[in-house]
């Protein structure tokens, strides 16, 4: 691959990564509840950083830099969903409300009828 093409693709990946992370920050600031904010943040981190790592791997002259970029990408691929799940679970157990976008109603876990809940449900009562 020619040097000019490689640099151009790397520049495009950097711009793409920055745009994805900027949209993620905007989503984090404008979403109504912790669950949708969590979705925006986790997607922005993963997709934005992967684009930046791809740009780094393209312009790197040393194979060690490429290996590190791939290793970081794999680490993010494995840990981003786990951390998002942990934060979402903590919000659920903390009785964080879920705001409905269409009706503006706010529903909490305490609003559930105890008679309809599953007995194995780990939510606090």
Average pLDDT value over all residues in the chain: 82
pLDDT in tens, 50-65: 999 999 999 998 999 9
pLDDT of residue 118: 55
Lowest mean per-residue pLDDT among 16-20, 26-30, 109-113 = 109-113
Work out whether the CA dihedral 27, 29, 32, 37 comes out positive or negative: positive
Confidence band for 76, pLDDT divided at 50, 70 and 90: very high
pLDDT of residue 121: 58
Confidence band for 93, pLDDT divided at 50, 70 and 90: confident
CB distance 21 to 44 below 8 Å:
yes
Helix (H, G, I), strand (E, B) or coil at 125: coil
Following DSSP, what letter does each residue of 21-66 receive, concatenated? Answer: HHHHHHHHHH-SSHHHHHHHHHHHHHHHHHHHHHHHHHH-SSHHHH
Q: pTM, whole model, 2 decimals?
A: 0.71
Following DSSP, what letter does each residue of 87-120 receive, concatenated? Answer: HHHHHHHTT--EE-TTT--EE-GGGS-GGGS-TT
Work out whether the CA dihedral 46, 52, 53, 58 comes out positive or negative: positive
């Amino acid at each position: 691959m020619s040097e000019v093409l490689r640099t151009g693709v790397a520049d495009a990946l950097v711009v793409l990564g920055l745009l994805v992370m900027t949209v993620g920050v905007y989503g984090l600031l404008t979403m109504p509840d912790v669950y949708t904010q969590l979705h925006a943040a986790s997607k922005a981190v993963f997709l934005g950083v992967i684009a930046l790592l791809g740009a780094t791997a393209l312009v790197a002259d040393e194979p060690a830099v490429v290996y590190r970029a791939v290793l970081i990408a794999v680490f993010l691929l494995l840990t981003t969903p786990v951390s998002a799940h942990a934060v979402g679970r903590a919000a659920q157990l903390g009785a964080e409300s879920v705001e409905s976008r269409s009706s503006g109603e706010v529903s909490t876990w305490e609003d559930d009828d105890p008679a309809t809940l599953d007995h194995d449900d780990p939510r606090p009562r």
